[in-house]
A and B are shown apart, each in its own frame.
Chain A
Amino acid sequence: MTNEGPRAGTSRRVEDLRLAGLTKVFGDQRAVDELSITIAAGSFFALLGASGCGKTTTLRMIAGLEEPTSGQVFIGDKDITELRAFQRPVNTVFQSYALFPHLDIFENVAFGLRRRGIKHVDAAVGQMLELVELSSLARRKPSQLSGGQQQRVAVARALINEPDVLLLDEPLGALDLKLRRQMQIELKRIQSEVGTTFVHVTHDQEEAMTMADTVAVMHAGRIEQLGHPADVYETPRTVFVANFLGQSNLIVGEKIQGGESVEVNAHGVRFTMPGSRNFAPGSQLVVGVRPEKMIVLDLADAGRIPSGQNTLHGTVTDVSYTGVSTQYLVLTAWGQQVIAFEQNSIVGDRCAVGDPVVLHWSPQHTFGLDPAGGLSSGIDPSVLALESDAEA
């Protein structure tokens, strides 16, 4: 085995990527604001955020394509902040791939090796093309390939250099939905085979959650929350995350008891949650719950609710059947719309529009958030506009 080709498994020592106080200012706008994180060696890390949140700028600073205003980038103990893009052990899979149109697939993949003065590239390139299952197309030009094939060439072209970190800038954005699913699985396979650290920038939450082992939700140049995808989803710590990642019902209330079990009074209704799930610093707080955690019951069946559950009374204003689940819009006594998803696994009648209902859910699924930033932070502005139109 030569030391030029990619090696399967994680035999190579990979080191952590660390960002320390990384900041980028464009004009009077702080695109990336004092970012400090450590991305563990060999992990699949996703930076998730809406466009303009600073995620791509962060990626470009790691690649060396953008110079930070302040702060440092480390790989292991080595400070690479001052290194130029072509001197860094970091490679990028560009959005829309940026394959060299004048070179064939083989030469595209061999590009990095040749620039480092490696003469015998055939074996390494062959092996790499095999990894991405493109061996038969080595002599084609990029324009002769489909979108999915081009994507795999872009991955191969970057990975052949055995970078310490592979950066992926919205790598699946140009593909259609079906191909995107396929490539998500493909990329995960490749990552587990080569064991390189992947840093993946995307605005697609589903993509981030399926592929990454760590997700960082970014907003206005800062990381709002970082963690395992399931943790971030189940326990959002800010209103932004609660709204941006999936959907949440948020009800403003007042803390009436703290400690291990937090009690909240909202519009005269009492809600309970574990103290560990309350992230509001003061007595004002937002009670949150995911729509699929709520169980919808006809008022007549209210007696079946186990004790200790949080409950909420209301009237059904809309029922939409979506196949997998049914969506209920429920109007509370104080005029707030609440949304609940019900799996279509129950037999029997569903509630209908106009029915009085009780929603109930476990305190373990309840979270408490700081209301300071407003309740609509993280909601897609176009959705917000639709809602205000509907209300008008």
Chain B
Amino acid sequence: MAPIVPVASVAPVHVSGPKRSSRSVYILLIPGLAWLAVFFLIPLFTLFMTSLQKESASKPGTYVFGIQLSNYANALAEYWPQFLRSFVYAGLATILALAIAYPLAYFIAFKAGNWRSLMLVLVVAPAFASFLLRTYAWKTILADDGVVTSTLNSLHLLPDGRILNTGIAVVAGLTYNFLPFMILPLFASLDRIDYRLIEAGSDLYASPAKVFWRVTWPLSMPGIVAGTLLTFIPAAGDFINAELLGSAKDRMIGNVIQTNFIEFRDYPTASALSFALMAAILILVFGYIRRSGTEDLV
């Protein structure tokens, strides 16, 4: 029998909640958790099983149960460039997003005053406009004859002479799309810092740069960890940006999974890639979580 003790979360031990029967906690938990188990956990297992299937001998194009680990080897041998590219693009986008988000988050947390809640609304607001359309709009903004491209070209900053349909456009799109996921955790973490600590730092260290690197940055670490995860993970799995803004040379692993699943119907290869992506990201997340703790992220 599981021990069930009602607790008041924040209150000290001797403030106990009302006595409730042990059954009610399961009534509360089971429907939602069962949903997550059946439609999140079990599918991951099915995905894994599918990734080991082999092609049917009698009916080509269909797949039957098997334990064919070579699916993984074959998939990775064929698609490792896209895999690698996903992580490079997502990594670049994450670093860019951090650099862009930090000043804004810092400003909202410490300097915005009365404008604070309005600015937070404005950070969230782009999500009210369609993700696909916003990405599509970058096609117009970064067009070959557009202002951005011609300005950069006149400065000879573009190796290919264009942005659209290059990796630069894909990274730019990823950076833009997941920026709010960086700003919000950064803000939350900066907001928790007692500003007097930063002022005390100005007393102890000579330059503002030193104060930033020795006081502000370390104190905002939880936000940096959460923000980079929340940006990197969806960016690594994204295929919308690569599809709309990149060329065939810029395809990411998401594109491969999508086309193999939906167009080629090569389920074992697609599943193997998907499962490998999940595994790679899980390893990364748990490496990160060691430094922050799950309850902080949930």
Chain A residues near B13: list those with CB within 8 A: 26-27
Q: For chain B residues 1-51, which have a beta carbon within 8 Å of chain A? A: 13-14, 16
The residues of B that contact A151 with a CB separation of less than 8 Å are none
Name the B residues within 8 Å of A315 (CB-CB): none
Q: Which residue of B lies closest to A86 (CB)?
A: B18
A27 CB contacts on chain B under 8 angstroms: 13
Complex interface: chain B residues within 8 A of A31 (CB): 14
Categorize the interface residue count of chain A: under 10
Q: Within the complex, what minimum Cβ distance (angstroms) separates A201 from chain B? A: 14
Give Cα distance in the complex from A27 to B12, angstroms.
13
Residue of B nearest to A24 (CB): B14
How distant is the Cα of A66 from the Cα of B13 in the complex, in angstroms? 11
A55-79 contacts to B (CB < 8 Å): 57, 66-67
Q: Residue on B with the closest CB to A27?
A: B13
**Distance in Å: Cβ of A68 to nearest Cβ of chain B:** 12
Contacts of A66 in B (CB 8 A): 14, 16
CA A57 to CA B16, docked complex, whole Å: 11
Q: Which residue of A lies closest to B19 (CB)?
A: A67
Interface string of A1-39 (1 = CB under 8 A from B): 000000000000000000000000011000100000000
User: How many pairs, one residue from A and one from B, have CB atoms within 8 Å of each other in the complex?
Assistant: 8
Given the complex of chains A and B, what is the CA–CA distance between A57 and B13 in angstroms? 12
Which residues 106-150 in B have Cβ within 8 Å of A in the complex? Answer: none
Distance in Å from the Cβ of B16 to the closest Cβ of chain A? 7
Chain A window 36-60, contacts with chain B (Cβ cutoff 8 Å), 1 for yes, 0 for no: 0000000000000000000001000
Contact flags (1/0) for A241-257 with B, using CB distance below 8 Å?
A: 00000000000000000
**Residue ID in chain A nearest B14 by CB atoms:** A26
A57 to B15 alpha-carbon distance, docked (Å)? 9
The distance in angstroms between the C-alpha atoms of A26 and B13, with both chains bound, is 8
What 1/0 mask marks residues of chain B from 85 to 115 whose CB sits below 8 Å from any chain A CB? 0000000000000000000000000000000
Interface string of A96-116 (1 = CB under 8 A from B): 000000000000000000000
Neighbouring A residues of B16 by C-beta, 8 Å: 66-67
Distance A64 CA – B14 CA, assembled complex (angstroms): 13
What's the nearest-Cβ distance from chain A to residue B6, in Å? 12
CB-nearest residue of chain A relative to B13?
A26
Contact with A along B192-204 (1 / 0, CB 8 A): 0000000000000
Q: How far is the CA of A26 from the CA of B15 in the complex (A)?
A: 11
For the complex formed, measure the closest distance between the CB of A89 and the CB atoms of chain B, giving whole angstroms: 19
Q: How far is the CB of B15 from chain A (nearest CB, A)?
A: 8
Name the residue on B nearest A57 (C-beta): B14
User: How far is A185 from B14 in the complex, measured between Cα atoms in Å?
Assistant: 32
CA distance A26 to B14 in the complex (A): 7
| Chain B residue at minimum C-beta to C-beta distance from A26 | B14
Chain B residue nearest in CB terms to A56: B14
A14 and B13 CA atoms in complex are apart in Å by: 34
Taking the nearest CB of chain B, how far is it from the CB of A25, in angstroms? 11
Taken residue by residue from 365 to 376, chain A's Cβ proximity to chain B (1 for < 8 Å, 0 otherwise) reads as: 000000000000
Q: Report the bound CA distance from A66 to B19 in whole Å.
A: 11
Complex: chain A residue closest to B12, CB-CB:
A26
Q: What is the minimal beta-carbon distance from A322 to any residue of chain B, in angstroms?
A: 35
Min CB distance, A172 to chain B, in Å?
21
A231 vs chain B, min Cβ distance (A)? 32
Interface residues of A in 278-293 (CB under 8 A from B): none
Residue-wise interface mask of B (255-287) relative to A, using a CB-CB cutoff of 8 A (1 in contact, 0 not):
000000000000000000000000000000000
On chain A, the residues within 8 Å of B14 by CB distance are 26, 31, 57, 66
| Cα distance A146–B188 in the bound complex, in angstroms | 30
User: Cα distance A66–B14 when bound, in Å?
Assistant: 8
Q: In the complex, A67→B14 CA distance in Å?
A: 10
What is the distance, in angstroms, from A365's C-beta to the closest C-beta of chain B? 41
* CA A26 to CA B16, docked complex, whole Å: 11
In this complex, what residue of B is CB-closest to A29? B14
Chain B minimum-CB-distance residue to A31: B14
CB distance from B11 to the nearest CB of A (A): 11
Looking at the assembled complex, report how far the CB atom of A53 sits from the nearest CB atom of chain B, in whole angstroms. 13
Roughly how many angstroms separate A66 CA and B16 CA in the complex, as a whole number? 7
A67 to B16, CA, bound (A): 9
Docked complex Cα distance between A207 and B13 (Å) = 28
Could you give, for residues 281-317 of chain A, a 1 whenever the CB lies within 8 Å of some chain B CB and a 0 otherwise? 0000000000000000000000000000000000000
1/0 per residue, CB under 8 A from B, across A140-163: the answer is: 000000000000000000000000
Tell me the smallest distance from the CB of B197 to a CB of chain A, in Å.
26
Q: Smallest distance from the beta carbon of B239 to chain A beta carbons, Å?
A: 46
CB of A326 to closest CB in B, whole Å: 41
CA distance A31 to B15 in the complex (A): 13
Docked Cα-Cα span, A67 to B15, in Å, equals: 11
Q: Which residues of B contact A67 (CB under 8 A)?
A: 16
* Minimum Cβ distance to chain B for residue A86 (Å): 10
Cα of A31 to Cα of B16 in the assembled complex, Å: 15
- Residues of B50-107 at the interface with A, using a CB-CB cut-off of 8 Å, are none
Nearest CB in chain A: distance from B19 CB, A? 8
A69 to B14, CA, bound (A): 12
Least Cβ distance of A19 to chain B in Å? 18
Inter-chain pairs besides A57-B14, A66-B16, 6 sampled, C-beta below 8 Å: A26-B13, A26-B14, A27-B13, A31-B14, A66-B14, A67-B16
The 8 closest A-B CB pairs, nearest first, are A26-B14, A26-B13, A57-B14, A31-B14, A66-B14, A66-B16, A27-B13, A67-B16
A residues engaging B (CB < 8 A)?
A: 26-27, 31, 57, 66-67
| Residues of chain B whose beta carbon lies under 8 Å from any beta carbon of chain A | 13-14, 16
Between A and B, 8 residue pairs with Cβ closer than 8 Å are A26-B13, A26-B14, A27-B13, A31-B14, A57-B14, A66-B14, A66-B16, A67-B16
